[in-house]
Amino acid sequence: MTASGKQRARAPRIRKPADVARRRLRPQGMRTRDAIVRTARALLLECGGLEFTLRAIAQRAGITVSNLQYYFPTRLAVLRAVLEPVIDGYMRDLRGTVDGGAAPRATLDALVVRALHDARDLENAALWCHFLALVAIDDPSAPLLDEWHGALSHEMAVLVGAVNPAFSYPESLEIAILIIAIVDGVTVRTGTGMRACASPDALDASFLAAVDGLLRGTLRAGPRALVTLS
């Protein structure tokens, strides 16, 4: 089932990266840009958001701040480049499913399992936690989180609506936000070191069962039950 024109028209737009356009970069320039991104990622993981500055990134990369700003004018531009590959991967999978006619339920299940796997990856989880901490203290970074969550929630909602056509778009969006919030919670738990669990497999099974209940409408959302899947 494909997304309706009405749903697709509501999709939040993810802005293009604020770094220099890749089309203008020669191979050496691309290598420099990619090296900066790798350096910035390592710095964020090791030092957190407080030391994630253009000066610190340039110093670690062995270049001047002005040279760094040719590729990334602002700290936010670097931050976007560090984190966007993961977000873009989910967006490609979601849009490819909805627009390409793939089986919605099978694809959504696979995405949820992938999200749980990514949430338990220590490096990815730590990176996301550092990003959230930076958002809390750096106002320019906050819209980036809103932008990504908004776009992911919309695309997930369209997929949820394809799984259970009885849901209205607001109901599908509510379910999508809940699923993403739970995955975010698992990611933060992992990234902050709270990994001890009597049975991680049982926790995953409970989460997948909750997702199934949300999709079928057998779990309550708000003051009323959602429409059940026949």
**Segment 198-208, tens digit of pLDDT:** 566 777 888 89
What does the angle CA 195 – CA 117 – CA 181 come to, to the nearest 5 degrees?
Answer: 75
Q: Are 98 and 162 contacting, i.e. CB atoms less than 8 angstroms apart?
A: yes
CA distance 166 to 149: 24
Tokens of 30: 């691309």
Q: In sequence order, what are the beta bridge partners of 33?
A: none
- Say which amino acid occupies 205: A
pLDDT in tens, 55-96: 999 999 999 999 999 999 999 999 999 988 878 877 777 676
Question: What pLDDT sits at residue 70?
Answer: 93
Split at pLDDT 50, 70, 90, the class of 4 is very low
For the chain, give the mean pLDDT.
Answer: 82
pLDDT of residue 218: 87
Could you please report the per-residue DSSP string of 152-172?
HHHHHHHHHHHH-TTS-HHHH
Whether the predicted pLDDT of 37 surpasses 80: yes
Q: Domains in the chain, ordered, with CATH?
A: 5-16+83-225 (1.10.357), 19-73 (1.10.10.60)
> How much is the pTM?
0.77
Q: Place 17 in a pLDDT band, splitting at 50, 70 and 90.
A: low
> With 80 as the cut, is the pLDDT of residue 43 above it?
yes
